[in-house]
């Protein structure tokens, strides 16, 4: 194993951005990854000012991602970044990710991955061709108790799955924020930058990923009703779906950004013949288990009786709250483990290299596309 | 006002029944209503044994409802019942209710009211013709905090409604109970006794009533997916619906009796431009209010700042838990207030005579019928 | 078994009273007990008006308890009450209870039982001499999950007990209510009517009873700090105690009626070598169990895996909330079972006749007396 | 402002330690502070191995703190650390802290500060003489909602305080762990390394600090009952105190490490004439406010209506959980703001430089000493 921090560059995430700083904190947390280069904004001046804010050296603080890429390709292996982290608005993901992958770099990219299935397919193909690491920051699956849920479902503790309800409700877009100059609202409600979907892309894709990651169920058909319920909004801010899964299970997926006053209420319920699981992101250290033949159990992060995957995703003893950044950091820790294994010439240990991959991102793009198609259809069921 | 207890007869609710005893406790609670006659089972011997269990006098303890009705018609006004309470399995509701209404008696009937829209229309017409009191025990709307929610919605505290999610999840039918001789499971999963729907009729109808009572929203179109997920079951045990309301609001309704390990989780969330309300039947004394411009509030039963309708529906100070039976008793208290007002020659005060009426029951029957139709349809939307 | 309702008379509980109506509802709930006589107020006119409110016959609606007692003694066994329920302010408990016991009647009396240990001893002696039933309405121990906790502790599921924390916090006396003419506040803060203690008597006694009933621990020494924190108040409205139990366990007991905004927050935590239990009256259907070697469990009322004593104290399936009145009714159900067994010439079955007895009431009086003594002492420990 | 990361050295926190890694993560989180030197263990070999784990350069990776200090004193200002962070077991705090302070370094030290009041006084004097920054990692006061509570109390929103209850319960020492070779249990239950108190020093001191920080109340007298309830344990593992504050308020403080199965349940309740606050560390993003004249409110981290001090202590939008490490990081952020201000020749802005100081640490030492004295006393009250 290389005895040094991994080096990364960031694209996007400058002043006024929200999620870039979260990525940086998540990478900094464990002292295993360091920021050494960047092109932090699409505006060159803002990019460089933002780079100075985070103490980038001048010669690695770029005004655009193309010069960052060119510069890294020139550098020696002793200096060169180990990977790039792409945290721009959605429409920039594809060109940046494709260019870095094709140049042989490992990549982490925010979600939703790209705008179209064609782009997604191209990116998957490029990653497969290069054989590089490609992580997608579906950060919610980094929570230890999500990993515990996955293990309990996959090992059969719930029996045969019958019903899954996943909801992601927020209230922050309950007013016409984008008309007031709010930057986050602006790009997320703009089809040119956000893609064909609004809430379904921004948070519905998290819901889909959480459902798929934990249950492994495959959607066979879906029936969607999307609405732009705030007058004047260009993209959906509320969506509800009925789901049918291969094997016969049924599901409901709700994603809304106009659920006034609600903060970030992502919740997953999975019910099978032997029990039910219930997890809420706003209380992420708890997983409620309803076995069919005994009292409800509150499983908590940090407990010795959790599965290894959950235990290893935790940094603190139980009762010492971990949160969003730790979950995010777990995605990066998985990516880092995979990169470190490759640097050492190994295949990474699966539990260590546990992170959402480019295929997960591509499936999310398909989910968005199929949902938008269903919404436009008068037939009840739209096939996957 | 008549200075005596009101007198009632019960049809159904004998040994092995579940809900009849709840009705009796609800009526007994406040010392304002007394049981004086009954035909407590469709089996004459069981009927009379059950009547003795509840201390009925022999001459008012009948083997069938027809003899009960005939006997009451013979009695003097000083003895005669003020109303009848019908707590039989669903398929018996219609003939009994119709006969008592046509004989001029006030009636309380359990839900779902009847099996078909034709029956429902006939019953509504009979009640209108007789001008009698007819209550339907949608008991969940008797909770004080449901009344508070209704007042807050109707008075505009949530602004324009946009999204409603109502769920009713139970787990008790997660196994094939009806094959094991369970009486409650038996009739509820039998189309001949339960009607065209299972879970949607048994609990989905409660969800519909709660939604309609609190919000006043009218369903314009619905899209249903019903399933009999337990192998061998004759009726749906799980259903999910997308809803579109007049005026543009959207909704989701879920009713499931195979949500393993879950007890009786009826929950209503209503979101408007100014705020959101969240109420859960398993913690019925709390109503969570999310205003768009300030902290979440926990409104609790018994508080002086609640609306009059909520305050008057409460018997105990806040912090002294009330429950299911009190909510049930509030439905009966509304019926009793209406009957007492008529006995005194008045029109009942609206807040006192607050109970679900035959029209609510008929709307519930229509909901079940439309849901079953939608489930059978390949079109996305089925009109109301 | 006698095939009729038990008959009772009530002393106290007229207009303006609070708890009398709760007792009546609790007794009415199950249809097994009926009110036939009463002296509902210390003011004769109010007594009779109150009796008419609850439909007492004129000849059994008395202006004072002495005439009630005399009248009952004159009546035939077919008419005579089976027991009397005493729900007056505290200072009236002793003379009424003593007179009815000495006349051979079964009695239910509210808590705290009497004002002094001498009175308590006299009452215990009278009950023992007469051999009559005497219940004390420590209603909180009537909750099913309190009975479950008792069973779990007594059967050793927590191992050796080490620490008990019982708290009873309310906020309703946070202002000087008694100066504003509030009847409930008036007598409860008046030493002549309430006794030597305020909050410690009114609610601290419930905390003591809950602790003793569930754990069986005996207080060896206590250290109390009582305060009348609202200026002008004549009795304590806040008290905190350190406790030492026989066998080495430690405890804390807090009772406060000036915990502003808090409703009725009685909570018991019991910790032993093998686990901890946590029960809160405001969510009475849940008992949280923290085993030392596995996940937390939420035990819920109505579950088949509860002990028989808890199961039989429940009327509804799990998830259908029961509350304060049901717990109260369970105390009366225990008394009724004892009386019915005696009427039938049997000894009552212990699980059926599960109710707090005169000795529990006497221990509560001692607790109040010892607490007041400790508060006045400069020594740390006051022996029991 | 200096445009670089602050540099620090760590003493303690090597392999097998628990809290050192938390300090490092807390400092790394925001990308404003970097680890450049250390002496991570009292064992030289382990120290150096631990330093390599965290990528220390060989020439700054020391076998003991004395050589670290000497080396730093030799280095130029461009290289020299800005501060040292001391995360050793308690008995090592004093000599290290004193030496670094006397050498003119800024210091952050874990709690409890030192073993005796004499040591505490000496340290306070040294800090005052040098005029250096000295932070104590009472990390719980770094939570945003604790800062919100402090602001609400200090600005009078609760009125006059009457009752404070602070509890800190854990279960991890419910067995005789120190006899099984557990390192954390070993030093914490050893008087030579932990000081005169066990649970009261380890977690009771957090409770005292939380209470004092939020309320500003001064303890006038206390009454303590400490126990070593696990057989064979050398220091208290459970303690309960009655408190009397200047001005008349009353309090209860409980600290227990034998509350089986409980994780890290620090809770503070503060009640005044106008309302009550309730905060629990295990759900740190919520602060429950019980105003005397309206519904309970749930104040949540990240909300725009919080005070500036709370808002600035938050990194993520509401609903995106922050936890223990962020609170810890806020203490370090306060220290860093103070150091940066000094480097720039300014006085730090109070809201920025919000951290527990050496005087808080000294008061905590006095609290421990007075508690141990009270426990040994037969008088009820021990003066502060």
Neighbours of C72 (CB within 10 A): 21
Closest in C259, C379, C380 to D271, CB measured: C259
Residue A183: per-residue pLDDT:
85
Closest in B170, B321, B325 to C282, CB measured: B321
User: Do residues B339 and B307 both lie within one domain?
Assistant: no
- Global pTM value: 0.97
Residue B1: per-residue pLDDT:
57
Residue A356: per-residue pLDDT:
98
User: Do residues B307 and B344 both lie within one domain?
Assistant: no
Provide the pLDDT confidence category of residue B296 given band limits of 50, 70 and 90: very high
Residue B284 in this model has a pLDDT that exceeds 60: yes
Mean of pLDDT values over C93-121: 97
CB contact under 8 A, B225 and A242: yes
Q: Which chains touch B (3 or more CB pairs under 8 A)?
A: A, C, D
How does pLDDT run across D108-159, given as a tens digit for each residue?
A: 999 999 999 999 999 999 999 999 999 999 999 999 999 999 999 999 999 9
Residue C214 in this model has a pLDDT that exceeds 60: yes
Residue B183: per-residue pLDDT:
85
Residue B265 with chain C: CB contacts under 8 Å: 319
Provide the pLDDT confidence category of residue C1 given band limits of 50, 70 and 90: low
What's the gap in Å between the CA of D76 and the closest CA on chain C? 54
Identify the sign of the CA torsion D49, D51, D57, D62. Answer: negative
How does pLDDT run across C156-208, given as a tens digit for each residue?
A: 999 999 999 999 999 999 999 999 989 888 888 898 888 889 999 999 999 99
User: Do residues D114 and D152 both lie within one domain?
Assistant: no
Residue A363: per-residue pLDDT:
98
Mean of pLDDT values over B89-113: 96
Closest in C5, C262, C265 to B55, CB measured: C5
Chain A, chain D: beta-carbon pairs less than 8 Å apart: 114
Q: Which residues pair with D10 in a beta bridge?
A: D38, D85
Do C140 and C281 contact (CB within 8 A), yes or no? Answer: yes
How does pLDDT run across D228-271, given as a tens digit for each residue?
A: 999 999 999 999 999 999 999 999 999 999 999 999 999 999 99
Which residues of D lie inside 8 Å of A (Cβ-Cβ)? 3-5, 18, 21-22, 24-25, 28-31, 35, 52, 54-55, 170, 172, 262-265, 281-284, 300, 302, 315-326
In a domain? residue C101: yes
Closest in A18, A319, A324 to D321, CB measured: A324
CB contact under 8 A, A323 and D318: no
How does pLDDT run across A64-103, given as a tens digit for each residue?
A: 999 999 999 999 999 999 999 999 999 999 999 999 999 9
The nearest alpha carbon in chain B to D289 belongs to B297
Residue C139: per-residue pLDDT:
97
Residue B194: per-residue pLDDT:
83
CB contact under 8 A, B283 and C283: yes
User: Do residues D257 and D348 both lie within one domain?
Assistant: no
The nearest alpha carbon in chain B to A176 belongs to B273
The nearest alpha carbon in chain B to C320 belongs to B324
What's the gap in Å between the CA of A243 and the closest CA on chain B? 9
The nearest alpha carbon in chain D to B304 belongs to D294
What's the gap in Å between the CA of C220 and the closest CA on chain B? 32
Angle of helix D358-376 versus helix D117-130 axis, rounded to 10: 170
Alpha helices in chain D (DSSP H): 19-28, 44-53, 65-74, 90-102, 117-130, 144-154, 183-188, 191-194, 199, 205-215, 308-312, 324-343, 358-376
Distance CA B365, CA B209 (A): 11
Residue B213: per-residue pLDDT:
98
Residue D348's Cα: distance from chain center in Å?
A: 21
Residue B289 with chain D: CB contacts under 8 Å: 295
What's the gap in Å between the CA of B293 and the closest CA on chain D? 8
In a domain? residue A1: no
User: Do residues C337 and C300 both lie within one domain?
Assistant: no
Residue B174 in this model has a pLDDT that exceeds 80: yes
In a domain? residue D337: yes
What's the gap in Å between the CA of A298 and the closest CA on chain C? 5
Residue C225: per-residue pLDDT:
98
Mean of pLDDT values over C294-299: 98
In degrees and rounded to multiples of 5, residue A145 shows phi and psi of -75, -20
Q: What is the CATH number of the domain that holds B238?
A: 3.30.360.10
Query: Over chain B, what is the mean pLDDT?
Result: 97
State the total domains in chain D: 2
CB contact under 8 A, B31 and C22: no
CB contact under 8 A, C171 and D259: no
Residue D1 in this model has a pLDDT that exceeds 70: no
Closest in B250, B254, B273 to A225, CB measured: B250
User: Do residues D293 and D238 both lie within one domain?
Assistant: yes
What's the ipTM?
0.96
Residue A300 with chain D: CB contacts under 8 Å: 263
Residue D57 in this model has a pLDDT that exceeds 90: yes
Residue C229 with chain D: CB contacts under 8 Å: 162-163, 248, 250
Query: Over chain A, what is the mean pLDDT?
Result: 97
Residue B59 in this model has a pLDDT that exceeds 70: yes
Distance CA B322, CA B319 (A): 9
Do D194 and D369 contact (CB within 8 A), yes or no? Answer: no
In a domain? residue B1: no
Closest in A296, A303, A305 to C298, CB measured: A296
User: Do residues D88 and D196 both lie within one domain?
Assistant: no
Q: What is the CATH number of the domain that holds C114?
A: 3.40.50.720
Residue C300 with chain A: CB contacts under 8 Å: 295-296
Indicate the SS3 state at residue C235: coil
Distance CA A189, CA A187 (A): 5
Residue D322 with chain A: CB contacts under 8 Å: 321, 323-325
Nearest alpha-carbon partner for B318 in B295, B289, B298: B298
Residue A299 with chain C: CB contacts under 8 Å: 295
Query: Over chain C, what is the mean pLDDT?
Result: 97
Residue A170: per-residue pLDDT:
98
Mean of pLDDT values over D292-314: 97
Residue indicated by tokens 């500003």? D216
Residue D90 in this model has a pLDDT that exceeds 80: yes
In a domain? residue A68: yes
Closest in D174, D261, D276 to C262, CB measured: D276
Residue D193: per-residue pLDDT:
87
Distance CA A19, CA A88 (A): 9
CA dihedral A331, A334, A340, A346 (to 10 degrees): -150
User: Do residues D49 and D84 both lie within one domain?
Assistant: yes
What's the gap in Å between the CA of A300 and the closest CA on chain C? 7
Residue A128's Cα: distance from chain center in Å?
A: 20
User: Do residues A186 and A212 both lie within one domain?
Assistant: yes
Residue D184: per-residue pLDDT:
85
Residue C86 Cα distances to C55, C110, D135, angstroms: 19, 6, 62
User: Do residues D345 and D274 both lie within one domain?
Assistant: no
Comparing A191-200, B87-96, C361-370, D17-26, which segment has the lowest mean pLDDT? A191-200
Low-confidence ranges of chain A (pLDDT < 50): none
Which residues of A lie inside 8 Å of C (Cβ-Cβ)? 289, 294-300, 303, 305
Please write down the HEC assignment for all residues of C208-229: HHHHHHHHCCCEEEEEEEEECC
In a domain? residue D300: yes
In a domain? residue D378: yes
Neighbours of A131 (CB within 10 A): 8
In a domain? residue C322: no
How does pLDDT run across C341-365, given as a tens digit for each residue?
A: 999 999 999 999 999 999 999 999 9
Distance CA A73, CA A103 (A): 8
The nearest alpha carbon in chain D to A36 belongs to D31
- Burial of residue A344, with CB atoms counted within 10 A of its CB: 0-12 exposed, 13-18 middle, 19 or more buried: exposed
User: Which residue in D157, D163, D379 has the most chain C C-beta atoms within 10 A of its own C-beta, making it the best mutation to test that interface?
Assistant: D163
CB contact under 8 A, C298 and A295: yes
- What domain range is B192 assigned to? 142-318+364-383
Strand intervals (E) in A99-237: 106-109, 134-136, 161-169, 219-227
Residues 6+ apart with CB under 8 A from A86: A10, A11, A12, A92, A93, A96, A97, A100, A107, A108, A109, A110
Q: Which chains touch D (3 or more CB pairs under 8 A)?
A: A, B, C
Residue C262 with chain D: CB contacts under 8 Å: 271, 276, 290
Nearest alpha-carbon partner for C382 in C246, C204, C223, C227: C223
Residue A315 with chain D: CB contacts under 8 Å: 21-22, 25, 325
Residue C183: per-residue pLDDT:
85
Report percent pLDDT > 90 for chain B. 94
Length of chain A: 384
Do A274 and A235 contact (CB within 8 A), yes or no? Answer: no
Residue D81 in this model has a pLDDT that exceeds 70: yes
User: Do residues C190 and C86 both lie within one domain?
Assistant: no
Residue A124: per-residue pLDDT:
98
Distance CA D46, CA D52 (A): 10
Closest in C158, C242, C262 to D240, CB measured: C242
Closest in D282, D315, D319 to A265, CB measured: D319
The nearest alpha carbon in chain A to C295 belongs to A299
Mean of pLDDT values over C25-49: 97
Query: Widest CA span of chain C, in angstroms?
Result: 64
User: Do residues C292 and C174 both lie within one domain?
Assistant: yes
Residues 6+ apart with CB under 8 A from C363: C208, C209, C212
Residue D384: per-residue pLDDT:
97
Distance CA C361, CA C230 (A): 28
């Amino acid at each position: 194993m290389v005895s040094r921090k991994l080096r990364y560059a960031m694209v996007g995430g400058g002043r006024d951005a929200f999620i870039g700083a979260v990525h940086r904190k998540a990478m900094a947390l464990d002292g295993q990854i360091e920021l050494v280069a960047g092109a932090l904004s699409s505006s060159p001046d803002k990019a460089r000012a933002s780079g100075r804010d985070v103490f980038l050296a001048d010669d690695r603080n770029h005004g655009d991602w193309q010069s960052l890429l060119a510069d890294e390709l020139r550098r020696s292996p002793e200096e060169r970044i180990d990977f790039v982290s792409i945290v721009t608005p959605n429409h920039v993901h594809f060109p940046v990710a494709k260019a870095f992958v094709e140049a042989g770099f490992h990549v982490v990219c925010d979600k939703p991955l790209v705008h179209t299935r064609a782009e997604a397919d191209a990116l998957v193909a490029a990653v497969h061709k290069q054989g590089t690491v490609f992580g997608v920051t579906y950060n919610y699956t980094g929570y230890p108790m999500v990993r515990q849920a996955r293990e309990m479902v996959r090992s059969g503790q719930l029996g045969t799955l019958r019903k899954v309800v996943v909801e992601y409700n927020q209230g922050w877009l309950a007013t016409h924020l984008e008309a007031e100059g709010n930057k986050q609202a602006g790009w997320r409600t703009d089809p040119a930058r956000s893609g064909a979907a609004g809430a379904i892309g921004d948070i519905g894709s998290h819901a889909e990923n959480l459902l798929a990651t934990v249950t492994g169920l495959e959607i066979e058909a879906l029936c969607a009703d999307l609405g732009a319920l705030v007058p004047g909004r260009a993209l959906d801010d509320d969506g509800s779906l009925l789901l049918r899964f291969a094997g016969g299970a049924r599901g409901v997926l709700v994603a809304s950004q106009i659920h006034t006053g609600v903060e970030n209420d992502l919740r997953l319920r999975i019910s099978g013949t032997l029990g039910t699981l219930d997890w809420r992101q706003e209380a992420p250290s708890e997983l409620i288990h309803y076995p069919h033949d005994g009292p409800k159990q509150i499983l908590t992060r940090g407990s010795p009786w959790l599965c290894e995957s959950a235990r290893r995703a935790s940094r603190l003893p139980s009762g010492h709250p971990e949160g969003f950044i730790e979950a995010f950091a777990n995605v990066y820790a998985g990516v880092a483990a995979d990169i470190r294994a490759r640097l050492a010439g190994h295949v990474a240990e699966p539990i260590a290299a546990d992170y959402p991959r480019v295929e997960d991102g591509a499936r999310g793009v398909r989910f968005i596309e199929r949902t938008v198609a269903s919404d436009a259809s008068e037939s009840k069921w739209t096939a996957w």
